[in-house]
Structure 1
Amino acid sequence: MRYNVTVDVPYEKRLPYTLFAKGFLIETPHIDSNKDFAHFKFLGGSIIVLFYTFEGFRRAYIVTGWDEKKDKEYITLPGITEKLCLIFTARGRKVDHLKRCVYLLTKENKDKVFKFPLLFWYRLAGLIQFSGAKKSDVMHLYTEFTKIKRKVRI
């Protein structure tokens, strides 16, 4: 079973990175009392896209909550205490491709795509990695998975 994931985004706390998280929120984000972090709680089993900016480089990750029965290895990332299952890591220009894909996929419905099966996200990662994720390819993939009425197991 994949558990809910809480992402702690630096608010006023000075850290060596900034963080932007996109996914299916299950409650309204809140800022802690000392205004260090904004806390975002995402649905377990759904996808979370994380964009980190460090001083000299950027990274983006497509992750979901780790399931001890299905997943072999887990990762941990700054700002997240839960174990995560890594689907894709983007570096350099690939971060921009992923950002554009997320924008395209959330234009109509901001939450729908984050509940798509993991297979969709693996295929999207392949498009980003190997063909630069052309808009037509991304939208074709989205359309194909929208037609398939699969239920997401959470």
Structure 2
Amino acid sequence: MEFIRHFTEDYNAKPQFLVENYRSSGNIIDVANAIIQPASERMKAEQSITIDRARRRLPAGDAWEVRDPVARGRVQVLPACESPTHQALAAITELQRLSELDADWKWSHCAVIAREWRYTYNRCRRIQKLRKRALLGKDLRGGRTHKARKRNP
């Protein structure tokens, strides 16, 4: 960040901030702004991220407002105890629930934000593998269908 700040001073350049988001729903953008707003040293402290113009009239939760009767397109903070394993299980369980609501579900389009990702990531992968063996239908890696099979020792 210091390099960019010096660049604008050294070359009398005017920064152009990219603040339109073309992918996330309005609810996700609102939560992201609330989380990053306290970071006063960031370069875009005066600008909030916004949804792109083409999607501004869409509901804040996008299609999930109708599709998901539980969260209705809102960002969720999942209840889980302090155990990283239980936190990972809560995340995977919720994502699995959501996957059943969307015929075009793609696991590669999911994001889980965790305070201690170094612990949660490995547990999520282990839980995915365990659940994958038990699932008939959707593959946790990319939405393809597969047949459950028993591994030979």
| Larger relative helix fraction | 2
The two structures have a TM-score, normalised by structure 2, of 0.26
The two structures have a TM-score, normalised by structure 1, of 0.26
The answer to which structure, 1 or 2, has the higher relative contact order (CA under 8 A, 6+ apart) is 1
